[in-house]
Every structure is written in C-alpha cells, then in structure tokens.
Chains A and B, each alone.
Chain A
Amino acid sequence: MKTRLTKQLKTTVAAISIGASVLLPLPAAAFDFPEPGDFASGSKAWAENCARCHNIRPANELRDDQWLTTVFHMRVRAGLTGQEARDILTFLQTSNVALVQEPVRPDDAPASTLSGKEIYQQTCIACHGADGKGAFAGVPDFTDPQGRLSKSDEELLKNVQNGFQSPGSPMAMPPRGGNSALTGGDLQKVIKYLHSEFGS
C-alpha cells in the first residue's frame, strides 16, 4: 500500500530523518544495561545464528550503542532468548576494537593456571571449532599442512596478540581473541596446543 508523497508528508519525513540524524552521533560508551553476558557463549551464538539469514557483519562495523539496538532488533527477528542476546552483545562490544599492527612486546605477566586446551576451549573454539577447521566460512583451517600453522610461532603470536583478519573472513579475530585477560604466557600455551592438536 503505497502513498504519493504530499508536501506535508515530505516535511514530516524530513523532520523525522533530521531529528534522528542529530541524535545519531552518540559516542560509544559503557552502558549499565543490559546485564553483561558471556563472551565465549556470545561468540558461539553469534557464529550459529547470524549467518542463517545474512552475511556476517564485522564487529568493528558498529559502535557499542549501535550494536545494542541492532542486537535487540535481531533478538525479536531471530527468536533469540534474552541470554543469547546479552551474550552476543558482550561478544560484539568486546570485539569491536581496531586491530593494532605492532611488534610483539615482552609480556612479563605470569601465565594463568589454565592449560592451552582450556584456554582454546574457553576463548577460541566458537570461531575456530572443536576440530580446528573453522566454525564458519573464512576462518582458517588449522589442519591444513600448508595453512596457518605453517607460519612461524613469532608471527602466530603477533597475530593472536594484535588481532588478525584472514582474507575472505567476515570478521577479524580481535586482539587476544577478545579476551584481554590472557597474558603472553597464555597465548604461547595456546599456540603450543594448536601445534600438538591440529598440526601435522
């Protein structure tokens, strides 16, 4: 049911558009709503749900406040539970950081008590998959002998520490996989685990 635009309607539409655009440049901020979700569960829910209908949008495409409204819109559209929406929002708001291209700096912080396998299962598994082949298109296949694990450990460490976007991947891996609590020692444990579990 379409309507020809009358002068009055044009004015109304213009007023709505201008009003909205004035309010658009809201700076990113830490909101006190909704309650924080779980990063790892969020990355899994994001990988499993969003690509069902559309191409995956990179996390750094939107600001925190824009992700908030977008995820709540998608909660209604995709039939997500409130917890799934909060988890996905936490994952996206944590991951929408710019990649840094810096050499690996010495990281003197002691490694956590977690093993490389435990760290992988908590932080990396949602995108890279339990089998290391990648949970969705564009994620590198760790089991490929000529693939990502054929690179030097120094380069792998740099990519994990600073973040990295593979060619063809819908989004970049955020610095430290999005888990800022991981130390340099933790990252080295993960790389060691990748070689032992998926390397040829």
Chain B
Amino acid sequence: MKQTLMKLKPLALALCVASLPLPAYSADNLDSLRNTVETLKKQLEQVQKQLDEQDKATVTRADLEEVRKEAASANEWKSPNTLVHMAGYADVGYAKTEGEDGSFGVGGFSPIFHFQYRDLVMLESELEFEVEDDGETSVALEYLTIDFFLNDYVTLVAGKFLSPIGQFRQNLHPSWINKIVSAPPGFGHDGAAPTSELGAQLRGGFPLGGMRTNFAVYAGNGPELNSETEDQVEFELEGVRAEGFGTDADEELVYGGRFGLLPIPSLEIGVSGVTGKATVTELEDESGLPELVLDEEKRDYRVYGADFNFSYRSLGVRGEYVKTRVGSANTGITASGSATWESWYTQAAYKFLPTKWEGVVRYTDFDSAVDAQDVQQWAFGVNYLFTSNFMAKFTYELNDGENGSPVDDNRFLTQLAYGF
C-alpha cells in the first residue's frame, strides 16, 4: 500500500496540472495550485506516518524466529522437578446369582494419584469410589504412602499401604489385572488374608548370585477383631478386620513381611509372615447390630503365607496360600477360644494368540472360623482383551458351601474393566 501511494504522488501532481486551462496561469491560479499541492503533500505524509506505525505493530518472520528461540530456551516448564500423573482403573458389570434376579452394578472407580519429586520421593494414593445397593456413593482411601527412595535397593514406604502379605492384595486385585471377575474367597475383605496396613515398611530388591529377590518388611498398627454372640453367654470370633486402622487398639504393633525369590526369570516363589497382637473392638449380638467394645484382652495374632507365580509365553500359572490364626482370651466380655482362617487358590490362564481371547480357571478352598463362610469354589473365565488394559470378562463360579448359606449359590459374573 505504501509503495502504491508513492507512485500516486507524481500522478496526482500531474493530474492537478493537467486539469488547469491551457492559457497562461494567473497568480491566483498558481496560489490555488500551490495550496492544493501542499494539501496533498500533508495528506501523503499522514498516510506515510500511519503506514510506519502499522509496520511497527506487525509481526515479521524475524520477530517470530526470535520468539521461537526464546521459547526454546525456556526449559522450566518442559522439565520440571515435580511430576503429577493420574492412573487407576474402573469397572462395571452384571451379576446373576442362582435363584435370584440379576442386576447391573458399578464395581468401582479407583483413581491413583502419583506426585513425584525427581528420583527422590513419590507420594501415591488410591481412592475407591463405589455405588452401594441403595444408590449412595461411598469412598475409601485404599492407600496413601510417601515412598522415599533411600538407595537402589531399599525404599521407605510410610502411610496406609496394601498388605505385602502374599501377592493378590498388593499386586493382583485391580480389575484390569485380576483375570477372574471376583477375588478368590478368603482374599477379599474380612477373609484369611490381610488387606491393608497403616505403618511403615522397607521394600526393595537385590540380585542374589544369578537370581533375583524382592522383599518387604513392615511395622504397623495391626488389625481389629469382631466377636459375635447369640445369648450373651458364649462368644465366638467372627472376623479379622485387617484394613489399616488409624489407631492401635491393642497398643502393640504388628511386624511382618514377605520375601520373594526368582531362581529363573519366569518363576517367583514367595513366603510371608506377620506376628503381633490384636483385640476385639466390635461385638455383634442377636440383633445383628455391631457395638463397640473397649479394653478387651490382647490376643496373639499370626499370619503365614506362601505364593508362587510361573509364566511361559501365553501361559500363566499362579497360586497362593494364607493362614491367619488369632489366639484365645480368658478375660473380658468377649473371652473365647482361638480361631483360624485359611485359604488357598491356584489359577491358570492361557491367551489364545493371535486372537484376543483368554481362558482362565481357578480353584479356591476357603476355611473360615465361621462355618457358614466356608466355600470350595471352581471359577471358569473367558476374557476378551480389546487392548492390554481394556477387557470384557465372563466368569462362572461353581460354589460349594454350607447348605443354605449365601456362599453355596453358583454365580455368573460379567465385567468391563479398564486400567488407565
């Protein structure tokens, strides 16, 4: 535009001159012409100024290149010392128990938050949201730990953590990992295996000759016990709640851990154990409503476990055994004899590659201190893996429990599970 106006300048002058009559110009005409030319000059100067200002406000390629260089040198947002990452899993499903109507359900939504400062420390936490039968939403803090990486072989993990006893609770229970829709009986809540703990543990791994090992040792608040009675005369231990309590009701810590050995890369063998004290804090009477009890006698608390895991190409075989024993108490309201909870399972899974189908079979034998909870279960599963972390699972459970008890009924379960 600027160049066009510059070309127009002489043309405008020529037009002005050409528009005048040919006879000799009078002084008046000359003055008029001079004024016109002056006016045109002023207007051109104004346009020139406006164009110069416009040029200053316009971004050029050189300006852009300068900005690019500046952005490339600003590294603080590209490589921060603190990282945030949300992982987790969720599942929805449908369950049909023998003799009952089936129903849809939301298994859970479990976001996992990772906050990490360089390679020094990580805070990790999992929340668990569930839709209850009455439509209300419940939430639980599955775990929350600060992991301090002490060196290449040991990490200090403090807070509420998944129990390191065995494999299922700490590594296999997420729905996108567990190959059967349900947990093995005895490995869920109030079973034979502890689920969570609140305390501190040291975890890690180290080479041992040509083999590999991993370990976890911990101290924690320990579990609390449930007792039941029908006549306020005789009392029985009904359950162990090992879910990570914020206080230590018996005022004595429990100590435990697991040691895993991998003699070859495809085989892991683990042994676990816990020792300490536990006390009854809940009593359920004939009304069915639990009431709080205090200052009951401390009882011995022991857990023993063993697990193995073998994989070869498309085949994965694993198994786990756990036994919880609670000692007797001679004094207090809920004084009663000792009790044991024992469960073991073996599972085999095979991927029919190159298809996306997978077959699974699992056998579990759960022997509870409460006879009505005892069950022997065959679970058969067929899974379709849309991707490695998104799958449809179909499971049929053949349950053999005490006649008339809920755990005696066979079940069909299906689930969509997604890990993210």
Contact = CB atoms under 8 A, between A and B. Distances in A.
A109 interface: no
A24 B86 contact: yes
**Chain B interface, >50% SS class:** strand
B205 A69 contact: no
A79 B260 contact: yes
For A20, A65, A137, the residue with the greatest tally of chain B CB atoms inside 10 Å of its CB is: A137
Nearest to A2: B138
Q: How large is the interface on B (under 10, 10 to 19, 20 to 34, 35 or more residues)?
A: 35 or more
Nearest to A63: B85
A103 interface: no
A30 interface: yes
Contact of A76 (B111, B203, B243): B203
Contacts of A84: 205
A52 B152 contact: no
A198 interface: no
Contact of A5 (B79, B139, B172, B213): B139
Interface string A22-43: 0110110111111000000000
30 contacts: A1-B243, A4-B136, A5-B137, A9-B139, A20-B84, A30-B78, A34-B119, A51-B316, A53-B167, A54-B176, A57-B389, A65-B85, A69-B84, A69-B87, A69-B114, A70-B114, A72-B149, A73-B114, A73-B122, A76-B203, A77-B170, A79-B213, A79-B214, A79-B215, A81-B205, A81-B206, A82-B149, A137-B313, A166-B354, A170-B388
Interface of B: 78-81, 83-87, 111, 113-114, 116, 118-119, 122, 124, 127-128, 130, 136-140, 147, 149, 151-153, 155, 157, 167, 170-172, 176-177, 203-207, 213-216, 241, 243-244, 260, 265-266, 268, 309, 311, 313-314, 316, 351, 353-356, 385, 388-389, 419
Given A34-B118, A53-B167, 4 more contacts: A17-B86, A20-B86, A79-B205, A137-B314
User: What are the nearest 4 A-B pairs in CB distance?
Assistant: A79-B214, A82-B152, A168-B354, A79-B205
